[in-house]
Copies of this chain bind each other. A is one copy, B any other.
Amino acid sequence: MNALKKETEKIIIEAAKEVFVEKGLQGARMQEIADRAGINKALLHYYFRSKDKLFDAIFEDIMSEMFVVVAKNIRSDMSLPDLLEVFVKFYNDFFQKNPFYPQFIFHEIWQNPDRLSEIMKSQQIAPAEIVEKIQQKVPAIGNSGLTAQHMIANVLGMTLFPHIARPLFQRVFFNNDDGEYARFLNERTDFLKAFMSVMVQGATTLNDAGEPDEDF
């Protein structure tokens, strides 16, 4: 009865993901999604009513893929550097497989930040819990001014930025060679591991060189 129905629905979602992720909500065309799914355009509306609804469906899907690692590991008893390493490795793999994702996600968040609030609720992860868990793992964190928030920004920045800036970086610094750039990305996860240990240590030391509050 709905074995086929579920099947088409999946086909549509996959095609829609491809097109939306590549072109963005505004740039995507319903006709192109239908073509890539190999179905009639009217079916898109039959299953998802409107472009916006279809987009919402795939966007929540993608955000889930993003957050599930965090949700699955944040409650483990790993050390903070080990935990961060798990995240770094996951996102490095994930974004090499889905190069458009990071750029796409932030673009759509900027286009409609309110959508984020809805999605955070449906996710199995509360933002406050992340900070809380980090502070729990490293109680002395922030003693030097390097708060959990700064740490997250550092790790995510160093990890995600080379993916976001890939077309720029790869062209400018790596002759636009995919293989060279993949090697570059993978190198990074290794030294990021070392960096994180140092950072976590530094974050627990009072008033070292990293003291950031001098201006305030």
Contacts and interface: CB of A to CB of B under 8 A. Distances in A.
Interface of A: 23-24, 26-27, 100, 103, 106-107, 109-111, 113, 116-117, 120, 127, 131, 145-146, 149-150, 152-154, 156-162, 164-165, 167-169, 171-174, 183-184, 186-188, 190-191, 194-195, 197-198, 209-216
B162 A161 contact: no
Contact of A161 (B23, B110, B161, B174): B161
A5 to B, nearest CB: 32
Specify which of A109, A145, A212 lies most central, judged by the most chain B CB atoms within 10 Å of its CB: A212
Given A120-B172, A210-B195, A157 B150 contact: no
A177 to B, nearest CB: 13
One complex includes copies of this chain to the number of: 2
Given A145-B191, A187-B213, A190-B211, 13 more contacts: A24-B26, A27-B111, A100-B110, A103-B106, A103-B107, A109-B168, A131-B173, A153-B169, A153-B188, A186-B215, A190-B214, A194-B210, A197-B209
A179 to B, nearest CB: 12
Specify which of A117, A149, A211 lies most central, judged by the most chain B CB atoms within 10 Å of its CB: A149
A167 B116 CA distance: 9
A216 B191 CA distance: 13
Contact of A113 (B110, B171, B188): B171
**A-B pairs with the 5 shortest C-beta distances?**
A157-B161, A127-B172, A157-B157, A113-B167, A26-B27
B27 A164 contact: no
Contacts of A215: 186, 190
Given A106-B103, A156-B161, A191 B167 contact: no
A52 to B, nearest CB: 14
A106 B171 contact: no
A10 to B, nearest CB: 26
A157 B167 CA distance: 15
Contact of A127 (B131, B173, B209, B210): B173
